[in-house]
Structure 1
């Protein structure tokens, strides 16, 4: 294995152990979008480095199956006796696997609830390592289930299923496993150890179900690493059974051998049966001398049936020190071929045969260059690199965890992206509405500005007309009087003085109208202003001016007070100019929700509708105006203005002809 591979494997195993030991991860919903994207990238990057699920086909041993039950609450158990008391690191449960027509490959008969206990010696109570449930995410699966033992001392392990799951073909409840591996410092100490079980499926001699298959080292997987170039297995010519020698280059204490079977075929269906190349009677010998004069038998294995074969055949044997290892077929069959994808010889957990020279007793002319002897120790099979069994199964378990996590992360990301798209869509509509709102606001603002400008012009014209009109009318009357008093110097001078006063007042009135547009400091006391104007304009007439609800009047906005005052003043000016009246009665009333101004004269009355100047003033004020004939034959003008609610009425006050200095 390359140095990069070893580093990658170390990182993967550290991640696996951390995942098994760490508490539950942060819920996906609470992670940010960047965290989810980073996690998905990490999963994809790690999956590329992990071994793939490649499942066996053909015939062979399956594993252990208990008796079947009609209900799931039927306890079943398995016990494995280890060779001695030893610290164990991991326990791996390999499920039996079935092919589902809809869901693909799935575990079959893997317990829904189970617990694992370890113990030493005759103490059969032991110590509970953990209890596991399908609700915790252990199902569905096709990968090994890895339990960390944390270096617990044990001479036996017990797997007890307390709730069974249904097998596929008849939905009866059974306890099934393909293989159980127990690792101590990288060594499977459960390999070919005795197994005790609670019940046994009825077995035939050629049955693929047997409790001994739980520890025979045969898994339902083909070793399919993520890295490495393909290597085609060595197979001898037809009818020849060569003797193969491996020179380890130095003496090693050997204790285990792994034989990787010839790949049946890379075609579908496969071209050969599952026992191609495996000797009927395998003999393995070790020696320190190249002529094997000091040979020692390491292993004798007779192939009874196809159930004794598998993709990787593993045996342990007593520790033996040797440099040379010989493999041969001791059977009498002559129509057989020998071949292997790889031969691994282990000393202290390390494959010391990797890259070593392999020889044969066959002449060189019988060597097939596409299936050379060098392929036996090149560390590769048909898929790529050959991994240590423990690392390989850990990678499959890790792949299961990541492939279970990935769709959850991807689904959460898709939800986030969909939410983002929806928010973006909404934001686009909001932006469009906002743009439309801004445009509409600009139009409304422009309209209001134009309207305000128009009203200012209209108000300015009205103010000048009403304020200056009365003064100019007075100046005209004084001019007429001055013409009549031309013979009386004193009267003429007095009239001229009065004309000068009104001329100055007209100039001040222009400035006054400008200030009125800003409503600053004007008509702060409406009653006082109306009283003063009445005294000035109606000095030669009999008039009566009264007020009711002065508190309401004081609570009017300044602009309303000014407009109300100008309406009142315009009424008085029109009476003086056009009515010929000798008597005027004005009454201003304010209550909680209404203000009403009534002005009555005894003139000769109106000859039409409400005068345009009064209509304009009423419109600026936001009030209603009407006229009617009074009892004396003159005109009654009535103005009604809605005011703010909740204003109290003040005491009734009445002003009649106050003393005003003569102008």
Structure 2
């Protein structure tokens, strides 16, 4: 054992495919960081590739399972299996076929080791060609494990495992070592660190690791193919193939019929496969120099439902004869009936198939031979077996391995994409909920704003109505009084004319003021109309006062909100009313400034001013300033009187 682990050099894979042997969690974690577009593109690429690869079809029936080491290794302890074939051969691929177990949850490989190393040996020493160290148990790794290496001379392969698998024991169904398409490990010597598993000798033997019986079958085909022959008096004795030239024969494969319309109803896989046969080769058609190259069965037991592979070791020949030494007899049919059924006879020369379409001859009486369709005989070497076109074993197993890896990746891609979509769906649901909440909130704000607008409009209408009531009532009272004075008998013509002029002026003022308020309510105003109305208000209310109304850098606005115009006008009237009522003044100066949208108003009188502890500005003026979004204050003038200030933004 020590010679295999000293001074190890790693040789990287060089050919078309190398198995991944990666757990689903590892695959998923590597995919979760990829962009969604990349995952979708990868999914499409994998699906296209899967259409080109061989499909999984598991062999049915009983057959040898391989070799099992039933030993629970202590930490750091290893077990090993070695296949050797004598002289060095140039190898380029090693394939480990797992033992397939069919359970309720599907097919699994419970004996495939989680951690192992694969070494090759040649005249130069030992070389590590593959190492798999995984802490993840992968019981569903049901594909062949392919190791591609550069063409390297070797005489042995050893697999060293730590004795750990999904259920503890370590085992393989088959170990194949390829030189091109030729399996150089077929029927070769197998040694192990442990004795054979004695409890189930029929299933687990070292020789079963190299018997060529795989747990897979090529499939499926769209049509039934093969050759079947049943007879009681004229049993079939042999089938001879003429290769057309002398070739170096490396292997012969016999494919059984696995149950189709060619076989009797109720029969199972392996019906018609000879229970005993031999293979002979010769340079001439008479087989004068005949050599027996294989006998079945010998060491290897087969229930007739797996492809039987015979290594021939480079025997040169042109003619090959299959001698049927004992025909198959079905127990449920006439015991005198001799049956023969075969799907394909494959002959290989230096690893390449050389039998397709070659001439076949049945070892039988010529008379009866005429009754057999030539077309049915040709199906024995047409390159098509029961489940489809027959690929080379190494390519077929590599495709199965690639299919398994791609399908595993595809499952994880679908899972990651589904999780991404679920996350996006949740985010979308949250976004829709947030939008709905915002929409409801905006609707509530809009309703509240409309309510506020309507409330303000209602208050404005009430204020205008009260103002109209006060002003128009006062004007009407004045007109009534002047009319009575003019109607007196002792009133002179001059006084009557004066009274009538006053009545006309008061009526005109009332009309203008009413139109102004209606204009404000309807479409707002501008800076010019606001100033004109303020001047008229000043002239009317301060008719007996000395007044000065001036503007400072006034820049008219195109439009001012109706409520702003009204509030400014009412603020000004309230200020004048307070001066008339409380100031005891004879002069009032008004200054208005509008720059941009910044409005400033100053109303200054020469009256008595505020008392030391008196109220600086009335509640009504503060309320008007607040409605305008501005500030109002008042202060005593040094020379006497009060100045009222209003500042706001229009």
Q: Normalising by the residue count of structure 1, what TM-score does the alignment of the two structures yield?
A: 0.68
- The match for 1:562 is 569
- The match for 1:284 is 280
Tell me the CA shift for residue 514 of structure 1: 4.8
| Alignment counterpart, residue 345 of structure 1, candidates 338, 343, 347 | 347
Please give the root-mean-square deviation of Cα atoms over the aligned residues, in Å. Answer: 5.3
Report whether the alignment pairs 1:257 with 2:257: no
Query: What is the SS of the residue equivalent to 1:392?
Result: helix
Tell me the CA shift for residue 103 of structure 1: 1.9
| Alignment counterpart, residue 405 of structure 1, candidates 406, 409, 419 | 409
Distance in 1 of aligned mates of 2:52 and 2:58: 19
- The match for 2:360 is 358
Distance in 2 of aligned mates of 1:588 and 1:103: 99
- The match for 1:385 is 389
Residues 234 and 376 in structure 1, CA contact (< 8 A), matched pair in contact too: no
Distance in 1 of aligned mates of 2:617 and 2:414: 72
Report whether the alignment pairs 1:245 with 2:209: no
Counterpart mapping for 1:561-640 below 5 A: 561-565=568-572, 596-597=618-619
| Alignment counterpart, residue 217 of structure 1, candidates 187, 203, 212 | 212
- The match for 1:315 is 310
| Alignment counterpart, residue 178 of structure 1, candidates 173, 181, 185 | 173
Residues 243 and 359 in structure 2, CA contact (< 8 A), matched pair in contact too: yes
Q: For structure 2, which runs of at least 5 residues remain unmatched after alignment?
A: 1-13, 330-335, 547-562, 583-606, 644-650
Deviations 1:512-540 (A, max 9, x none): 4356543644888999999877644899x
- The match for 1:160 is 160
Distance in 2 of aligned mates of 1:113 and 1:86: 27
> Which moves more between the two structures, 487-496 or 18-27?
18-27
Distance in 2 of aligned mates of 1:52 and 1:489: 127
- The match for 2:105 is 103
Residues 262 and 341 in structure 1, CA contact (< 8 A), matched pair in contact too: yes
Tell me the CA shift for residue 454 of structure 1: 6.0
- The match for 1:131 is 132
Residues 179 and 217 in structure 1, CA contact (< 8 A), matched pair in contact too: yes
| Alignment counterpart, residue 635 of structure 2, candidates 640, 651, 663 | 651
Tell me the CA shift for residue 203 of structure 1: 4.5
Distance in 2 of aligned mates of 1:121 and 1:44: 44
- The match for 1:91 is 94
Distance in 2 of aligned mates of 1:405 and 1:326: 47
Query: What is the SS of the residue equivalent to 2:385?
Result: coil
Deviations 1:49-71 (A, max 9, x none): 54443333444322122242265
Residues 241 and 328 in structure 1, CA contact (< 8 A), matched pair in contact too: no
Number of aligned pairs? 568
Q: For structure 1, which runs of at least 5 residues remain unmatched after alignment?
A: 1-13, 168-172, 540-555, 576-584, 599-620, 624-639, 658-663
Distance in 1 of aligned mates of 2:227 and 2:54: 20
Residues 355 and 381 in structure 2, CA contact (< 8 A), matched pair in contact too: yes
Residues 625 and 631 in structure 2, CA contact (< 8 A), matched pair in contact too: no
Q: Normalising by the residue count of structure 2, what TM-score does the alignment of the two structures yield?
A: 0.69
Tell me the CA shift for residue 337 of structure 1: 5.8
Distance in 2 of aligned mates of 1:650 and 1:525: 24
Distance in 2 of aligned mates of 1:60 and 1:18: 28
Distance in 1 of aligned mates of 2:460 and 2:200: 114
Tell me the CA shift for residue 199 of structure 1: 1.6
> Which moves more between the two structures, 353-362 or 250-259?
250-259
Counterpart mapping for 1:16-165 below 5 A: 17=17, 28-29=31-32, 43=46, 46-47=49-50, 49-69=52-72, 71=74, 74-100=77-103, 102-121=104-123, 123-124=125-126, 126-133=127-134, 135=136, 138-165=138-165
Distance in 2 of aligned mates of 1:467 and 1:254: 128
Residues 72 and 163 in structure 1, CA contact (< 8 A), matched pair in contact too: no
> Which moves more between the two structures, 566-575 or 243-252?
566-575
Residues 15 and 148 in structure 2, CA contact (< 8 A), matched pair in contact too: no
User: For residues 384 and 424 of structure 1, do their structure 2 counterparts lie closer, same or farther at Cα, with a shift above 3 Å needed?
Assistant: same
| Alignment counterpart, residue 375 of structure 1, candidates 364, 379, 394 | 379
Deviations 1:527-566 (A, max 9, x none): 9999877644899xxxxxxxxxxxxxxxx96654434455
Tell me the CA shift for residue 179 of structure 1: 0.6
Query: What is the SS of the residue equivalent to 2:162?
Result: strand
Residues 119 and 158 in structure 2, CA contact (< 8 A), matched pair in contact too: yes
Distance in 1 of aligned mates of 2:132 and 2:480: 116
- The match for 2:291 is 297
Residues 115 and 132 in structure 2, CA contact (< 8 A), matched pair in contact too: yes
User: For residues 312 and 253 of structure 1, do their structure 2 counterparts lie closer, same or farther at Cα, with a shift above 3 Å needed?
Assistant: same
Tell me the CA shift for residue 377 of structure 1: 1.0
> Which moves more between the two structures, 181-190 or 297-306?
297-306
